[in-house]
Chains A and B, each alone.
Chain A
Amino acid sequence: MSARSRGTVGLVRTDRRTGALLRARGATVRVDGTTLLDGVDLDVLAGEVLVVVGPNGAGKSTLLSVLAGDRAPDAGTVTFDGAPLATVRPAELARHRGVLLQENRVSFPFRVVDVVRMGRAPWRGTDAEDRDEDVVARALDDADVTRLAARRYPTLSGGEKSRATFARVLAQEPRLLLLDEPTAALDVKHQERVLARAREHARAGGAVVVVLHDLALAAAWADRVLVLAGGRVAADGAPAAVLTTDLLTAVYDHPVDVLPHPVTGALLVLPRHAAGTVGAPADPTAPTAPSLAEDLA
């Protein structure tokens, strides 16, 4: 109930942009002579969902690890709420930012509910500890894993693990959510659910950084899109301004069409498929079509 009211209140969002929660200036990361991240400037603002996209090796995960404080940039600065990120104590930082990584293994057969309860660890010894069970219950529900609460984590499927970990991050109640490919293993329903929850978090005054591969999802859920290419910022702005046919085609080195949805007017991002050239699917004489039909029959 409180979740819903937070969602509606947050609709007046532009006013909430009081300043950057996280600010990177000239962030550069080099590994063995290779520059993974090259002078990235970035402001993560409260109240918005920032989606980071880019081809493989563009530096998306590296950027996220720099923003999370896992890796100090070799050059440039990252500040959290005005303070250099490296000077914020891990325990303090854990109450303000949660991170969902791509790979989420758990070494021992903990139950899902145990894993989600671990998200409450930063709040031990504070007044917030009293709300632990409520927060955990809501996080389980938000990630749609309440049914799996008593299951052993290692027995879950990839998508279920991803959702259980998302619940753990939500239980942490951070202002800043850093999500690395949260939807990669998820079905359509849960992709929508996770990103809707992320947007709700932003509307309630939080900040969200999401790394996504799916440009259609990026177009649908981003308030702002950062396009990375070769470790540099290729574009940073509103989805409609950034996600253009020209830019995406250049960055991905592959034809990508961006057009308005015929009914809703929403942004559609469609990578061209070699197999999907005009006429091919409808052409009954095409050699692949009958065999496909036979296979299906």
Chain B
Amino acid sequence: MTATVPTDAPADGGTRTALPGDDPRPLPPAVPGRVAWLFGGLTAALAVLAVVSAGSGQLHVPPDEVLGALARGLGLDLGPEPSHPNGYAALWTIRFPRVVMAILVGAALAAAGALMQGVFGNPLAEPGVVGVSSGAAVAASATIVLGVTVAGPWTTAGAAFLGGLVATFAVYALARSGGRTEVVTLVLTGVAINAVCGAVLALFTFLGDTQEREQIIFWQLGSLNGTRWAYVGIVAPLVLVGLVASVLMARRLDLLALGERSARHLGVDVERLRIVAVVVVALLTAAAVAFCGIISFVGLVVPHLVRMAVGPGHRVLVPASALGGAVLLLAADLVARTAVPYADLPIGMLTALVGGPFFLWLVRRTRRQAGGWA
């Protein structure tokens, strides 16, 4: 030991154990190579599922005829026409809007889940679990029962957005402490909000006439049945705006994972980011809920699987979740329509049936990790 330890000793090559290939070895890439495969695989799955789903049901249309009908509808004279006399009309008035709606709603819910998890710094945050979906459904059913039509066909969607927004801000205000949201607080807040919304929905069910009751029950079950192009026309712009906004926020959401203070030290305007993110979550959820009711757990399952496959970086997570959500909901809707002959199962029931156990598993896993409950 001498008194003259140079202050720059750590920068000195001699003190570092020179591992073989230490210096030339490049850093792990920011975006793993698997990402391209993931996007490619999901896109292919989406295309195949869309064609299969459009052709399946009581009236079966083979894939080549589905593509032919699609081309013809877009003004291209390609491929065979549907052989069934009602095939073309059935595809374009019933199946195609439903397939597009499934894609939009799946993408919206999964992206909203990824976004919400990023904002709350908690992998269990999801619009359905924390009560945002039921908040939106309450407001939407209020317009049905009370006969509000101030904004024409946009009334229900607008109300759903407002209801979702109120619920999201409520969760945000109630469940957050010190910039983070602990699992217990978040889930319990969700229980409380879902309970209140359930009570209000029950009140509306009680007040409504038979037709209104049916509509409200439809909210709670969730279904893509009866989707029309007019609905798609309302949902699509909301979802597109929400998705673009989510992708633009992705980098800053990464920084938020470091905690509120550290994110601010890196130049993020944390409060503004949180508020914008909450509004976007409400927008995406409302778009999904407005015409299709409560479809839960999509926003929980999909981002989690994507994180396991390619890591938690939001620049990949958000778009990949949107794509994965679209695939999942399209598949779920196909099952809902075809599992029982001549019956259209509620899709919300299916996703909850699969998502519930997944949620349990996730809770147990989170619990095992240090700090999961702390």
Contact = CB atoms under 8 A, between A and B. Distances in A.
Asked if A and B are interacting partners, one says: yes
A131 interface: no
A122 B251 CA distance: 11
A154 interface: yes
Given A94-B265, A154-B369, A264 B30 contact: no
Contact of A118 (B27, B122, B266): B266
A93 B267 contact: yes
Given A90-B264, A99-B265, A266-B3, A107 B11 contact: no
Contacts of B27: 113, 133, 136-137, 140, 149
A196 B8 contact: yes
B152 interface: no
B28 interface: yes
A150 B30 CA distance: 11
Q: Is the interface of B mostly helix, strand, loop or mixed?
A: loop
A263 B3 CA distance: 8
B20 interface: no
Interface in A159-185: 168, 172
B267 A122 contact: yes
A4 B264 contact: no
Contacts of A168: 258
B3 A264 contact: yes
Contact of A197 (B10, B28, B311): B10
Q: Is the interface of A mostly helix, strand, loop or mixed?
A: helix
A58 to B, nearest CB: 20
Given A146-B22, A200-B7, A108 B266 contact: no
A91 B22 contact: no
Q: How large is the interface on B (under 10, 10 to 19, 20 to 34, 35 or more residues)?
A: 35 or more
B362 interface: no
A118 B251 CA distance: 9
Contacts of B93: none
A142 B10 contact: yes
Contacts of A104: 258-259, 262
B9 interface: yes
Nearest to A97: B265
A4 B7 CA distance: 9
A236 interface: no
A121 B16 contact: no
A90 B268 contact: yes
Interface residues of A, number: 60
A23 interface: no
B255 A4 contact: no
A257 to B, nearest CB: 21
A59 to B, nearest CB: 17
A107 B114 CA distance: 13
Nearest to A94: B267
A218 B186 CA distance: 42
Nearest to B19: A147
B208 interface: no
B63 interface: no
B28 A113 contact: yes
A192 B371 CA distance: 30
Interface in A69-103: 70, 90-95, 97-99, 101, 103
A132 B334 CA distance: 46
A258 to B, nearest CB: 18
A114 B253 CA distance: 13
Contacts of B10: 142, 144, 192-193, 196-197
B260 to A, nearest CB: 9
A206 to B, nearest CB: 14
Given A115-B258, A118-B255, A137-B27, A196 B267 contact: no
Contacts of B266: 94, 118-119, 121-122, 172
A200 B11 contact: yes
Given A4-B12, A91-B267, A101-B259, 5 more contacts: A104-B262, A111-B311, A121-B255, A121-B266, A203-B7
8 contacts: A4-B8, A107-B180, A109-B312, A113-B27, A122-B266, A147-B19, A149-B28, A196-B7
Sort A-B residue pairs by CB-CB distance and give the 4 closest, nearest first.
Answer: A94-B267, A108-B312, A107-B121, A7-B8
Interface of B: 3, 6-12, 16, 19, 22, 27-28, 30, 121-123, 180, 251, 254-259, 261-262, 264-269, 307, 311-313, 369, 371
